[in-house]
Structures are given as C-alpha cells and as structure tokens.
Structure 1
Amino acid sequence: MKPVALTDIGAEAVLLAGGGRAILLQLAKPAVGHAVAEHSNFAADPLRRLRNTLTYVYALVFGTPTQVAAVTAMVQRAHAPVRSASYDASDAGLQLWVAATLYETATTLHERVFGPLDEASADRVYRDYAVVGTALGMPAELWPADREAFGRYWREQLAGLEVDDRVRAVSVQLLRPASGPLWMRALMPMARLATAGLLSPPLREAYALPWDDRRQRRFDRLMDVTARVYPRLPARLRHWPKNHLLKRLG
C-alpha cells in the first residue's frame, strides 16, 4: 500500500463536504458557540468562513513561510472581534478543539472515500495535523501524544458538548443562508444532507436536523457514489480548490 501523508489528504476537494460538520462540532463547544451567536456577521457569511478556513489549512500544509504568516494574521484578525465572557481566541484549549474537529472530520471523510489508512500513514498524518493548532499558538505538547490519546480526548469532548437555542439559531444561518451566490444556495440541500449524515445521532438531534430512514439511504448512496467516482477524477480537478486559493493568497 502506498504511504499517505498529510499533503495527500489535505489536497483533496472532497474534504469540503465535511465543512458543515466541523463547524457544528466547533459551535457545540459552548464557549465557541455563544461567542459566535453574539456576532451575527460571523455566521451570516458562511462562504467567507469556509474560504478562510480552507486557505488557512492549505497554506499551513502547502504554503511558503510568507503565506503561513499571512493566513495566521488573517485568522487572528477574524477572531479578534468574536469574543464573549467565556471565549478567547487565544485560548489554547479552544485552539486544540478547532484543530481536532478539522483533523477528525478530514480523516473520517478520507476513509469513507478512499478507505482506511495503513497504521504508519495514519500515525504520520495525525502527528503532522498538529500544525493546524500550533500555528495559532497552541503549545505543541497540548496535541494528544498519539491517536489512542486523541481518541480518549475526542470522546471526553463529545460528552461535554452542548447545543442550546442560541447555537441552534447560528446553525440555521449556516445551513440555510438567506444570501450568497446562487450556486452555493443550490448546493445547500446536499450540504445539509452530508452535514447531518456525518454527525453523530445525538448531535444531529441536538441541532434539530431532520433524519429518517429515507435520508439515511440518500446519504449512504451519496457516500457510495462519491467513493466510486471521486478517486477516479483527474488530480487537477480534485486539487482545484487548494490550487485556486493558494494562487489567490499570492
């Protein structure tokens, strides 16, 4: 089996399908969700948030030192006005949580589409993913020591997530945007299906996302078709978002 690195996983456009899941996981941490709820502009432009998050991750994995410095400053500026009594973007624990949601979502989707990684590749990707948090100041030692430790951390964090009416209202703005390009709104039904399908049943219920056997079958078909078709697409298509956003970054 060919070894897989973070650069192999991080370039794949299919990871965009997990964007909604990662954001809802982040919001379910009360300190994050309540801060976002108090800043409606933060949630009113989900396309900009997705673009900035992708640019940040792409630059960390593939960019030059100048690009890394640029995206780090960009994210810090974006986070500066999003504060509450319990939220501080420089909080290392929250930086760890955000990085963890991106790692866990990316590897979950990659496995659904490409199959499981071999142990050595999985360990390598896990170690390298720490850069998503450390670039913003998270101490490197805060990243759990290995995948087993990460699994314990992840289960503990999931048990403490909480979705109240304020956070649920933000999720509606994100998944049912009232504005934005026509193409984006046309894709939102599929994005909502993917988001709900990738979430755990308890979080799906907490966010009041409708789910039944029919939706489960549609989600399973979507994942099955994606796994059959997507890996066969040319790399220039699969990697287009990464190449496009890095080119825009300069």
Structure 2
Amino acid sequence: MSTRHGEPGYFADDSMIRRVMSKRAVGLTYGVRALVIGAVHPLLFVGTSEHTTHRATPYTRLAVTGALFEAVFLGSKAEADRALAFTRRKHDAVVGTLPEDAGAHHRAGTAYAAHDPHLMFMTMAFTFDSAEVMHDRLVRELTATEREDLYQDYVRWGELFGMPRDAAPADYPAFRRYFDTYLNSTELFLTEEAALVGSYLAGHRKAYRQRPPAEQVGTALYLLVQGSLPARIRQMYGIEWGIADELAHRALCTGIRTAHLAPPLAPRVLASTLAGPSAPSYKLLARREQHMVKTGHPSMPGVDPRNWAQRHSAVRTGGPGAA
C-alpha cells in the first residue's frame, strides 16, 4: 500500500480509487463538476457558503478542498490523517439553519450540519458521481466490477471523513438508483447565489478574458464540464447546449481518451502528464485568483463576499452595504 512517497496510505496502489483519482484528466475536472451539480442541494450549498472563509476566493476554496481530498485518495496515512483532522475541525463549526426558503423541500429554518450523516453521504455522492463520469468520458469506461470497487472505495473514503457506513447504499446499483432518482426529483433547487457561483464554475458566465494559452485551456475545461452535466442541470443554469456543442465535447473527450490509449513505449513525458497529483495545478489557479483579488478584481463579480448573516447585520445597523 505504498503511496507517491513510498509510505502506506489508506488505499492500496491497485485500488480503484487510486487508479481513477491519479488520472489528471479526472483530478482536474471532477471537483469543478461536483461543485456545479452539488450547488443544486441547498443545505450543502448554503452550509458551505455561510461558513467558508473563502467567499471572495472560491477557486482557492476549490484548491484547498482538492488538496485535502487528494491527500486521502493518494497520500500516506500521515498525510491523510492531517487532512482529515483539518477537515473535522472546520466542519465542527458548520451548523445552522437556512435563512430563507430554498424551494418547497427546504424551507427557512431547516437545519443543516456538516456532520449530518445524510449530508456527508450527499457530499460523497456528488464527488463519486463526478469522478466516475469524468473517468468514463476522458480515460475509458469502467467495467461493472471496477465500478463497484470504485464505489466501495468511495464509501470507505466517506467513512474516513466521518460518514457512517449505513448512510450510503450498500452497493453501486443501489447507489445509482438512489442518485439518479434524486437528480430527477423536485428536491433540486438553485438559490440565487448558487446559480451565480455555479454559472461561473461551469464557464457559463465569464468575468474576464485570459491570456493565451490560459483562455484556451479554460474554454476546453468548461466544454468538458458542461458536456458532462445531466441535461436537467444544464437547463437549471440556463446553459444552452446544441448539436455543435455536443459534437465539440465528444471530439475533445475522444482526443483525451486516445492519449490514454498510447502504447506502453510512449515517451515518459506523456505518461507523467496524464497521471499524478492534480493539487499543484489547483494551487496555480488559487495563486492567480488571490493576485486578482489583491489588485481589485473580484473573482466572481456579483457574488457578495459577506455571508447572509453579515449582509443582514449591515442592513439592521445601517453599516456599509446596507442599501
């Protein structure tokens, strides 16, 4: 069970979770997709947005979360334990109630807590589903046995973060029935802020143009994420998706899959590009975002850096931003 550092981790080198999450095509896309889809769950979105210290720097939060998750996926037990302890400390403070109605199923006053077993499972569900989908599209389709093994690894991953085992369905078919039913249910709801943040993350709304090649890389990433979303989720965000978009998405996916099918004697540089930790790439994104914010350019224009409680406290006291 050696890791990238030669020390044992919680998952064996040949485990499906390591095999899947070590693919950079998955590591660089699954997190964005999971956040875009997960935003339709009001308790998860509001619970996170009300308690995060990164409201003004959402991509930094993505980078931090990606690094924490990757430490458990790919790191040694010591690295994983540090990430798990850090996460538990942060989650201890995530307790509250919805300040406003968020659809018929989530009325104002509905309680949430990061340690709630069902919410922990839903976090795992959005993460697992996104990793599975992106591997199928960008690497190769998993076999039924591999899919089951990956699901069981993710359940174990959830347990490491504190999720009770019985909070998740017993096997992959049961999970897929539950999750697909949920995605087609009336429970899904985008708050105004969730719709705005998710639109930025999905590339449906863009704040700034980037310099080449960053602009081209970003466009490709957004195409991959948008094309991987269920049609209903795209519709909730108002993302128009036509035949040309679908063909472009498929062509890009095919190109990336083909790279993974390179013969064993392919140059090492190709192999090292396709596999390995994705956290360094997320750190670059976070550094760029922090530089933008420091120079007066909001990362996501229109997203208030204050949470609901802070905004409404300002209204009551007549402080800055009360109007």
TM class, shorter-length: 0.7 to 0.9
Secondary structure at 2:170 match in 1:
coil
Change (3 A) 1:185 1:178: farther
Is the CA contact (8 Å cut-off) linking 2:24 and 2:274 kept in structure 1? yes
1:224 positional shift? 1.4
* Structure 1: distance between partners of 2:126 and 2:179: 9
**Counterpart position of 2:86:** 74
Alignment gaps of 5+ in structure 2: 1-13, 98-110, 263-268, 282-323
* Structure 1: distance between partners of 2:239 and 2:261: 29
Amino acid at match of 1:32: L
**Counterpart position of 1:192:** 222
Secondary structure at 2:248 match in 1:
helix
**Counterpart position of 1:241:** 277
Is the CA contact (8 Å cut-off) linking 1:21 and 1:199 kept in structure 2? yes
**Counterpart position of 1:55:** 67
Counterpart pick for 2:231 among 178, 201, 205? 201
Change (3 A) 1:44 1:193: farther
**Percent of residue pairs identical:** 23
Counterpart pick for 1:172 among 199, 202, 216? 199
Is the CA contact (8 Å cut-off) linking 1:60 and 1:68 kept in structure 2? yes
1:163 aligns with 2:175: no
Moved more, 138-147 or 161-170: 161-170
Alignment gaps of 5+ in structure 1: 246-250
RMSD over aligned Cα atoms: 2.9
1:105 positional shift? 1.1
Higher helix share: 1
* Structure 2: distance between partners of 1:58 and 1:197: 24
Which structure's CA Rg is the greater one?
Answer: 2
Moved more, 204-213 or 68-77: 68-77
1:139 positional shift? 0.4
**Counterpart position of 2:136:** 111
Amino acid at match of 1:239: A
TM normalised by structure 2 equals: 0.66
Is the CA contact (8 Å cut-off) linking 2:139 and 2:256 kept in structure 1? no
Change (3 A) 1:177 1:83: farther
Residue deviations 1:190-225 (CA, integer Å, cap 9, x gap): 232222111111110101223222222211111111
1:13 positional shift? 0.5
Residue deviations 1:137-196 (CA, integer Å, cap 9, x gap): 1101222111111012202321222123231022234345758x9689633322322221
Moved more, 25-34 or 158-167: 158-167
**Counterpart position of 1:217:** 247
Is the CA contact (8 Å cut-off) linking 2:31 and 2:66 kept in structure 1? no
Moved more, 78-87 or 126-135: 78-87
Amino acid at match of 1:65: K
Is the CA contact (8 Å cut-off) linking 1:43 and 1:173 kept in structure 2? no
Superposition map of 1:116-155 within 5 A:
116-155=141-180
Secondary structure at 1:87 match in 2:
strand
* Structure 2: distance between partners of 1:243 and 1:236: 14
1:95 positional shift? 1.1
Is the CA contact (8 Å cut-off) linking 1:130 and 1:140 kept in structure 2? yes
Change (3 A) 1:114 1:69: same
Size of the alignment, in residue pairs?
243
Is the CA contact (8 Å cut-off) linking 2:92 and 2:115 kept in structure 1? no
Amino acid at match of 2:163: M
Amino acid at match of 1:20: V
Change (3 A) 1:109 1:44: same
Moved more, 164-173 or 92-101: 164-173
Is the CA contact (8 Å cut-off) linking 2:67 and 2:279 kept in structure 1? no
1:97 aligns with 2:122: yes
Q: Which one scores higher on RCO, CA 8 angstroms, separation ≥ 6? A: 1
Change (3 A) 1:184 1:26: farther
Change (3 A) 1:82 1:213: farther
Change (3 A) 1:142 1:31: same
* Structure 1: distance between partners of 2:93 and 2:219: 31
Change (3 A) 1:206 1:182: same
Secondary structure at 1:162 match in 2:
coil
